[in-house]
Amino acid sequence: MSGSLVVVGTGPGKPELMTPATQAALAAATDLVGYGPYLDRVPVLRADQCRHASDNRVELDRARHALALAASGRQVAVVSGGDPGVFAMAAAIFEAVESGDPVWRTLDIRVEPGVTAMLAAAAEVGAPLGGDFCAISLSDNLKSWATIERRLKAAAEADFVIALYNPASKARSHQLGEAFALLRTVKASDTPVLFVRAAGSADSKVVATLLADADASVADMRTLVIVGASTTRQVGRWIYTPRGAKS
Ligand code: SAH
């Protein structure tokens, strides 16, 4: 039997937020490859399934391992959190294909979409992504801080709602504070800022504040930060961004 590789996302946390297509792909796999905590979210679906848990920081090695398994005839599922194409393994797989064994280009590779953190976080508070928005990862492992600053400034000047992924990690805490300082030079001080921790899971927690008061130490590596546009506002206990710029 020829091998295959599917890249899936577990969604933000709750089992109900994992799509049926992803569940079916996981059930069909002979091998699961992923970061340990994400694999732990996948219930044991068959006794003969091999699990290859690895450290989160070696994504390209993990991608090569998965591709080699598929090339050897295994049915491989690579597991990310959220959506696999958003700051996650799907792009790592194609980077590995691009720089790896030419045979990998002929493999049966597909990607299943998942519920990404910013969608789960937005739903916790209302509809803050109701107008134009963008997503920026604050991790400078794979790109320079100067690039991140340039994109933050451009997004703020264009009045996008900005979803910030990877606002902090054990190794990094200063970036979010610097990002807020930069955004304060462009956006109004009363711009809504939302910290949503463990969105779409049983222990989700929301802190809603304003850009002037936003405290970077509220965020950890399970937090998604949303910085509003000029039209983002509160109605009752919800926060939303109207769909048009004129409203
Ligand atoms: N592929 C993932 C994102 C990976 S980047 C996705 O689509 O969601 C990792 C970052 O995503 C974290 O640092 C955090 O900012 C965010 N994140 C992931 N799951 C989250 C959740 N349940 N709640 C809030 N933020 C989350």
- Write out the DSSP string of 79-107: EESB-TTSSSHHHHHHHHHHHS-GGGGGS
Distances (CA, A) of 71 to 58, 76, 107: 20, 10, 7
- What percent of the chain has a predicted confidence (pLDDT) above 90? 85
Model confidence band, residue 56 (pLDDT cutoffs 50, 70, 90):
low
CA of 194 to the centre of ligand 1 (A): 14
Q: How far apart are CA 13 and CA 108, in angstroms?
A: 28
190 DSSP assignment: T
Residue 140, pLDDT score: 87
Can you tell me which atom of ligand 1 is nearest the CA of 84?
1
190-220: pLDDT as tens digits: 999 999 999 999 999 999 999 999 999 999 9
Average pLDDT over residues 47-67: 89
Residue 35 has pLDDT above 60, yes or no: yes
Q: Which of 14-23, 40-49, 85-94, 108-117 has the weakest average pLDDT?
A: 40-49
Residue 171, pLDDT score: 75
Residue 239, pLDDT score: 98
234-247: pLDDT as tens digits: 999 999 999 987 65
The structure tokens listed for 242 are 């109207």
The span from the first CA to the last CA of the chain, in angstroms, equals: 58
151-184: pLDDT as tens digits: 999 999 999 999 999 999 877 778 999 999 999 9
Residue 95, pLDDT score: 97
CA of 148 to the centre of ligand 1 (A): 18
pTM, to two decimals: 0.96
Model confidence band, residue 45 (pLDDT cutoffs 50, 70, 90):
confident
**Dihedral of the alpha carbons of 145, 141, 196, 174, in degrees to the nearest 10:** -50
Residue 246, pLDDT score: 63
CA of 100 to the centre of ligand 1 (A): 28
Residue 89, pLDDT score: 96
The structure tokens listed for 9 are 């996302």
- Which residue out of 35, 118, 166, 220 has the highest number of ligand 1 atoms within 8 Å of its CB and is therefore the one to mutate? 166
User: Does the CA dihedral 49-50-56-61 come out positive or negative?
Assistant: negative
CA of 139 to the centre of ligand 1 (A): 12
